[in-house]
Structure 1
Amino acid sequence: MTKTGNAAGKFDAGRAAEYAVQSRIALAGYDACHELAACLLAADLGPGRPARILVAGAGGTAREIVSAARLERLWHFTAVDPSAPMLELAMAAVGEAGLTARTAPVLGEVAALPEEPIYDAATLIGVLHHLPGEAAKQSVLDALAKRLKPKAPLILAGNRHAYESRPLFLSAWGERWRMHGATAAEIEAKLGKIRQGADPPASDQEVGGLLTQAGFEEPTLFFSSLFWGGWITHRRG
């Protein structure tokens, strides 16, 4: 991953410990998005074929890896994350799923990997909106493109739109927290933390622009849940 400033620091041991629960509340359809991502990659690469998958920002639940491994026994994964607590959680989930031998953990950034186009596919899920500014977002996408084979698919998913630009969505987000037992004060604290701690792309068009500038094809949206979007694209050949 590119230099992220305080992005990795946000995911300390305390934040990492609550991630698996909190992420599923914040994103309605968390598991469905990851499962669809795995299905799209399998359909794109062809079922039953060996592949090397680069999982950027793998920390936390390692849901990208666990979901994909359910479909494809010949896939091997490189799990990259700049947060040690988050990567430890991911590798614990990988171990519970019996996938340790198929998963290589890398503590650090995508840019620190050898700059060779050796990966058959990549995922970047729940990462881009944590990177402050366009330059940081562009840098991680550039780093991914350099390590993918021509025409290799990339799954990108994360929040888009300035939160204040969608007040109804923001209110619905709060209602989802209330649905899961949060008090009014807790909801306000959560929404305040979200407003201060993320910098999502302003639109689907901006996501597309970042990807095309990095050398990817125009993305196709396959999943949407309030602010969250999921896209598949391919490195240009």
Structure 2
Amino acid sequence: MNHGHSDHGPGQGFGADRAPHYDAQAAVNLAGYQAAYELGVSALAAVLDGQDTASLLHVGLGTGAELVPYLRFNVPGWRFTGVEPSSPMLEVARKRLEAEGLLARTHLHEGELRTLPSGPPFDGAQLMGVLHHVDGDEARVELLREVTRRLKPGAPLVLGCRVGKDPELTNVELRRLRAYGVTSEKLEARRQAYAKMQPIESDGALFAMFAQAGLVAPKTLFVSLQYKVFLARFAP
């Protein structure tokens, strides 16, 4: 999932020309795109099972697709806050959530997470496809801390990001994209972009960042080549 919504920079490349097509493109870029969202919601619903009311923070909400799986879980008392720096993406999210009947219980905030006004702590949070776009480990840890500062003790966090930089797995990604009709020119541009990317080095490196932000007991929920989704708990 190449979701370019860093909390430390604008959502460049996610303007009005791309936002309406983002989900279709993401489904090609990441095998199991919808499954990643469904498993993230499944994990949050499992940890918070039995709570009639809950408030969830979703950072880098994008088109709002990650909220739709909640409809399967019979949690009408749960409320959501979606943070998204791209206005066109947020407009797509607004229309989708209205059509799905979720908009009335979702607060949409345009901007980076640090611009979200303080309020009561959240029961849980999700951060999908954001962390690997943040430059440098120090800034990544700061983003994680910005999330956990807004959580209740014991709250779950679901996080998805690219981990590692394996040339063989990159070739698998590119070969799959070619099968989906991506042109040679675009594939070469993608290869060069991957070469410049500085993702989190390993699961261990990510877990060390978790620890610095008070996140413990990480569990792997989903793996698709070099994209992984984890569940952790906030233990200040």
Tell me whether the two structures share a fold, i.e. TM-score over 0.5.
yes
Matches within 5 A, 1:67-146: 67-71=69-73, 72-116=75-119, 118-146=121-149
Worse overlay, 25-34 or 88-97: 88-97
- The root-mean-square deviation of aligned C-alpha atoms, in Å, is 1.9
The structural deviation recorded for 1:120 is 0.4
Q: Secondary structure at the match of 2:207?
A: helix
Q: Answer yes or no: is the 8 Å Cα contact 2:122–2:152 preserved in 1.
A: yes
1:63 maps to: 65
2:9 is the counterpart of 1:23 = no
Do the aligned partners of residues 101 and 173 (structure 1) sit closer, same or farther apart at CA in structure 2, a change above 3 Å counting?
Answer: same
Q: Secondary structure at the match of 2:94?
A: helix
Is 2:49 the partner of 1:50? no
Instruction: Select between 85-94 and 9-18 the one with higher mean Cα deviation.
Output: 9-18
Aligned position for 1:178: 178
DSSP 3-state at the match of 1:65 = helix
Give the secondary structure class of the aligned counterpart of 1:13: coil
Deviations 1:48-103 (A, max 9, x none): 6211000000012x122111233122211000011111211222221221111011
Residue by residue, what CA displacement relative to the aligned partner does 1:157-205 show, whole Å, maximum 9, x if unpaired? 011113xxx1111111111111212232232223334444x43211111
Q: In terms of mean alpha carbon deviation, does 21-30 or 176-185 score higher?
A: 176-185
Paired residues in the alignment total 231
Correspondence list, 1:7-22, <5 A:
7-22=10-25
For structure 1, which runs of at least 5 residues remain unmatched after alignment? none
One-letter amino acid matched to 2:216 = E
Letter in 2 for 1:65: L
Equivalent residue letter for 1:37: G
CA distance in 1, matches of 2:24, 2:195: 20
Change (3 A) 1:235 1:25: same
Per the TM alignment, residue 47 of structure 1 is displaced from its structure 2 partner at its CA by 4.0
Instruction: Supply the distance in 1 between the matched residues of 2:234 and 2:120 (Cα, whole angstroms).
Output: 10
Q: What SS is found at the alignment partner of 1:34?
A: helix
SS of 1:9 mapped into structure 2: coil
- In structure 2, the gaps of 5 or more residues are none
Which residue in the other structure is 2:199 paired with? 200
Which of structure 1's runs of 4+ aligned residues deviate more than 6 A?
Answer: none
- Which residue of 1 is the match for residue 154 of structure 2? 151
Please tell me whether the aligned partners of residues 2 and 139 of structure 1 are also in contact (alpha carbons under 8 angstroms). Answer: no
Q: Aligned partners of 1:69, 1:124: CA distance in 2, in Å?
A: 19
Identity %: 35
| Residue in structure 1 matched with residue 8 of structure 2 by the alignment | 4
Counterpart position of 1:228: 227
The DSSP-based 3-state class of the residue aligned with 2:61 is coil
